[in-house]
Amino acid sequence: MIQEDTISAVTTAPGNAAIGIVRISGADALQIADKMFFAASGKKLETYPSHTMVYGFVRDREERDIDEVLTVYMKAPRSYTAEDVIEIQCHGGMQSIRQILALTYYYGARPAEPGEFTKRAFLNGRIDLVQAESVMDIINSKSAAALKIAVQQQEGFLSKKLKEVRRKLRDVIVHLEAVIDYPEEDIEDVTYNEVKNSISEAEEEVSVLLEGAHTGKILKEGLRTAIIGRPNVGKSSLLNTLLKEDRALVSEYEGTTRDVIEEQLVIGGVPVLLADTAGIHDTKDFVEKLGVERSRAFLDKAELILVVLDGTQPLTSDDETILAAIKGKNAVFVVNKTDLAESIITKTLAERFSSGNVIEISAKTKEGIDRLESWLKEYVYGSSRQSEEEIYIQNERQINLLRQTADSLKDALEAAENRLPYDCLTIDVDRALTLMGEITGETVRDEIINEIFARFCVGK
């Protein structure tokens, strides 16, 4: 589906830099480049082998040099868009880039829309929709783990798995339609059993993908985590220890932290949005009371709660209020100050909550911090999943479609178990096929495609 018009845009970030790149894509890309780029050798770009970097100059309409550049011609279909592509590498000054871009427009290109280069790669069949969406995930990755997942998606890991499942489901439909057209009562038992087994296998594979969605979203967006506790239990000290810098003020006096302090960091390979909150307790101080209210409000937004407790003291009424407030939430209980004395509350906490969620540390000496990091990594990845081997989905659109797919397969499996008519089975299986096709782009509507690529940056 080669587009008729030719587009161009700056593909590097705005602002002064060492290098700026202007990309031209479309049927007239080479013709436009020939009017503005002049190789130092005197040869035309088309005389060089495809993908060869050529040194020369970009000249304006009066043939005055604008900039000294390197230009590469990538002949279709061996390019990012699967069209003829020209990339001009110039100096990164804004004036140079603007003048070169303006020349591309003058000679026939039009401004590229957000994400249009990647959209053309998708429409021309070079990549599918999962691979296209992974491009922005690569750009926006907040950790090495998130980047690795995005690269895996771009390389087709998820697409391959989905195509395998879709192939199984297509076989189910072909089988059912054959039986509908040529009914044979003596093979009814075999038909239902085969269909049940195939649908069950597909449902299991979809479930495994959905299990990794929690991990994928965290690695993409960051784990929103709140450090809470009553005053002077070591919340700010823990924040400073995790950050490896003195970000929060630490004092022996109560109420030092009066607002929510938010920081981004990577712990054990996991991107974390960490918030040190004001100590939760009853207070008459107006400003401190506002801080406590903000702390309570932040609890509702946080996915994970780090409850910090003073291990040298029995649980207080303020501690109990906090423990009641986090009921039903994902939490880990951090027993601090083990450098001062042996904890007297760990056993109590282990009996009331899971012992695996109670960790003794010293924010001062850093003892136990490695165990906290290990706990966090297991919380994100799960004890039975291996980050190096599994497929993790980061995209909310894909996750929602997979959930709908799982529901359709569940309905199909129930229909097979209850021996409903073959037509009923076919409807549910066909819906699952269509939903997975929307993930990869094989059955997606044009308006959805346009909406997806509109979120991309111009030049990508």
Q: Mind listing the pLDDT tens digit for each residue in 299-324? A: 777 889 999 999 999 999 888 988 88
For residues 411 and 420, give the distance between their C-alpha atoms in angstroms, rounded to a whole number: 11
**What integer pLDDT is reported at residue 249 of this predicted model?**
38
Reported as half-sphere exposure (CB side, CA atoms, 13 A), residue 313 has a value of: 13
Identify the CA nearest to 66 among candidates 39, 29, 42, 95: 95
User: In 227-316, where does DSSP find H-type helix?
Assistant: 235-243, 286-301
Beta bridge partners of 56: 39, 69
**What integer pLDDT is reported at residue 357 of this predicted model?**
92
Q: With pLDDT > 90 as the criterion, what percentage of the chain qualifies?
A: 47
Q: What is the mean pLDDT of the chain?
A: 86
| Residue with the larger pLDDT of the pair 423 and 251 | 423
Amino acid (one-letter) located at 48: Y
Worst-scoring range by mean pLDDT, 3-12, 145-154, 188-197, 353-362?
188-197
Residue 61 confidence (pLDDT) above 60: yes
- DSSP code, position 356: G
- Report residue 243 as tokens: 């950050």
Residue 47 confidence (pLDDT) above 90: yes
For residues 116 and 454, give the distance between their C-alpha atoms in angstroms, rounded to a whole number: 8
Q: Is the distance from CB of 131 to CB of 119 less than 8 angstroms?
A: no
Q: Mind listing the pLDDT tens digit for each residue in 257-284? A: 444 577 888 887 788 888 776 555 454 4
- Percent helix, strand and coil across the chain, each to the nearest 5: 50, 15, 35
- Report residue 451 as tokens: 């909406």
For residues 460 and 457, give the distance between their C-alpha atoms in angstroms, rounded to a whole number: 6
Residue whose tokens read 């009331």? 352
3-state secondary structure 130-163: HHHHHHHHHHCCCCHHHHHHHHHHHCCHHHHHHH
- Report residue 196 as tokens: 């049940």
**What integer pLDDT is reported at residue 281 of this predicted model?**
46
Average pLDDT over residues 214-235: 86
For residues 288 and 430, give the distance between their C-alpha atoms in angstroms, rounded to a whole number: 59
For residues 103 and 61, give the distance between their C-alpha atoms in angstroms, rounded to a whole number: 8
For residues 51 and 83, give the distance between their C-alpha atoms in angstroms, rounded to a whole number: 13
Residue 240 confidence (pLDDT) above 50: yes
Identify the CA nearest to 379 among candidates 403, 362, 357: 357
Identify the CA nearest to 87 among candidates 43, 117, 53: 53
Residues 6+ apart with CB under 8 A from 140: 220
For residues 88 and 59, give the distance between their C-alpha atoms in angstroms, rounded to a whole number: 12
- Report residue 266 as tokens: 């990577």
Identify the CA nearest to 278 among candidates 263, 265, 261, 264: 261
pTM: 0.79
Return phi, psi of residue 411, to 5°: -65, -40
Strand ranges in 283-386 using DSSP code E only, listed in sequence order: 304-310, 331-336, 358-360
Q: Mind listing the pLDDT tens digit for each residue in 338-385? A: 999 899 999 999 999 888 899 999 988 999 999 998 898 888 887 655
Q: Is the distance from CB of 274 to CB of 195 less than 8 angstroms?
A: no
Residue 253 confidence (pLDDT) above 60: no
